[in-house]
Amino acid sequence: MPTYKYEGAYAGGERVSGVVEAASRQEAVAQIRQTCEVVLSLKEIPKSFAQRPAAAVFQRISPKSLAFTCQQFAIVLKAGLPLVQTVDLVAGQSEDKALQRLLRQVSEDVSNGWSLSYSFDQRGGRLPVTFRETIRAGEESGDLVSAFDRMAKYYDRTAKTHAKAISTMTYPAFVILVAIVVVYVIMDKAVPAFINTFDDLGAELPPITVGLIAVSNFTTRYGKYVAAGILALIAALWLYSRTEKGGLLFSRLRLSLPVLGEIGRMAGASQFAHTMSAMLAAGVPILQAIAVSSRAMSSLVMAQEVLDTVAGVEAGRGLGDSMANSRELPQMLIQMTAVGESAGALESTLEVLAEYYDNEVDVRTERALSLLEPIIICCLAVFVVLILFAVYVPMFNIYNTI
Distance CA 122, CA 343 (A): 38
84: confidence class by pLDDT, cuts 50, 70, 90: confident
Q: How many CB atoms lie within 10 A of CB 378?
A: 10
**Type of residue at 270:** S
Mean of the pLDDT values across residues 289-299? Answer: 83
Task: Report the range out of 150-154, 172-176, 246-250, 335-339 with the highest average pLDDT.
Answer: 335-339
Compute CA distances 42 → 14, 23, 25, 260, whole Å: 17, 14, 8, 48
Q: What is the pLDDT of residue 388?
A: 79
Distance CA 172, CA 370 (A): 10
pLDDT tens for each residue of 92-149: 888 888 888 888 888 888 888 888 888 887 776 678 877 887 787 778 777 888 888 8
234: confidence class by pLDDT, cuts 50, 70, 90: very high
Please return the burial class of 186, using the count of CB atoms within 10 Å of its CB with bins 0-12, 13-18 and 19+. middle
Which pTM value belongs to this model?
0.66
Q: Is the pLDDT of residue 15 over 50?
A: yes
332: confidence class by pLDDT, cuts 50, 70, 90: very high
Q: Is the pLDDT of residue 291 over 50?
A: yes
47: confidence class by pLDDT, cuts 50, 70, 90: very low
Distance CA 82, CA 328 (A): 46
Report H helices in 63-125.
63-78, 83-93, 97-111, 116-123
Mean confidence (pLDDT) of the chain: 81
Q: Is the pLDDT of residue 49 over 60?
A: no
Mean of the pLDDT values across residues 254-259? Answer: 88
Q: What is the pLDDT of residue 21?
A: 63
339: confidence class by pLDDT, cuts 50, 70, 90: very high
The DSSP bridge partners found for residue 15 are 9
Q: What is the pLDDT of residue 22?
A: 62
Q: What is the pLDDT of residue 201?
A: 66
Q: Is 54:238 a contact under the CB 8 Å cutoff? A: no
Mean of the pLDDT values across residues 71-75? Answer: 91
